[in-house]
Amino acid sequence: MAMQVLPNNRCLVEYPISTNDQTILLDEFESKKEEINTKVYEFVNDSLRNFQIETPSWLFEHIINELVKNAYDSFVDKGLKMDEKLQITAVVPEKTDQIILKFKDNGTGFKKLEKGEKKTFQVNDTEVTLGTDFISSPGISDKKDTKKYLGGAGCGMQGILANLKDYNPDVTVYAKNRKLEGCAIHIVFPKSQH
């Protein structure tokens, strides 16, 4: 596993695929997942601190943990090829009126979105829910073999939205399928609130 800090406040974590056996790969990945979470969390936390924004550590630890699990499951779901690499990118660009955390991966993306299509979630909605039609097809949790996947049927994203709502109801989250592969989750914080 390698992590690179790149220009423009980006970091890239790459996890090489060393086997076509999903059960073995899951065991290997689970042994490295905490290290990946820690590296991405430290990058995000340091970036936010550079912008003089303090956030509770529990919030981003939870968000990063869920997004890393989602990235892994999505990557495994597209089929394993030797020498491919799971890629997770975190970006923290600053705009004059907001801070955006971007998490990108190279998995299958959201099954209910077309390439380039975007879904926006207002965290301050009275009921924070993605809807099962967006997250997954009915019965997808039945397909999630716990020997091959880390997650389930989208409850992690609902937890992220609920935690963000508790932290700052003016946060906006949007999910987008990238043009080539994978998805991007953007979490937009109004700077005036910090």
- Residue 147: the pLDDT is 53
pLDDT in tens, 7-34: 888 899 998 888 878 888 888 888 888 8
One-letter amino acid identity for 47? S
Q: What is the DSSP string of 75-124?
A: HHHT---TT-EEEEEEE--B-SSEEEEEEEE-S---TTS-TT-EEEEETT
What pLDDT does residue 155 have?
65
Q: Edge-to-edge strands of the sheet including 2-6? A: 2-6, 10-16, 85-91, 98-105, 183-190, 172-177, 118-122
Number of domains in the chain: 1
Expressed as residue numbers, the domain containing 49 is 2-193
- Per-residue pLDDT at 89: 92
What confidence tier does 145 reach under pLDDT thresholds 50, 70, 90?
Answer: low
Instruction: Tell me the average pLDDT across 1-11.
Output: 87
Report how far residue 171's alpha carbon sits from residue 106's, in angstroms, rounded to the nearest whole number: 25
Average pLDDT for the chain:
77
- Asked whether residue 94 carries a pLDDT value surpassing 80, the answer given is no
- DSSP lists the bridge partners of residue 175 as 119, 185
pLDDT more than 90, % of the chain = 6
CA distance 38 to 36: 5
Residues 35 and 8: beta-carbon distance below 8 Å: no
Provide the CATH number for the domain around residue 166: 3.30.565
Give pLDDT, residue 141: 40
**Rounded to whole angstroms, how far apart are CA atoms 99 and 112?**
27
Asked whether the predicted pLDDT for residue 193 surpasses 60, the reply is no
Q: What is the pLDDT of residue 133?
A: 40
Radius of gyration, CA atoms only, the chain? 16
Q: Please state which of the ranges 5-9, 168-172, 182-186 shows the lowest mean pLDDT.
A: 168-172
Q: What are the pLDDT digits (tens) for 30-79?
A: 888 889 989 998 898 888 888 777 777 778 888 888 888 888 888 888 87
Calculate mean pLDDT across residues 95-115.
81
pLDDT of residue 168: 78
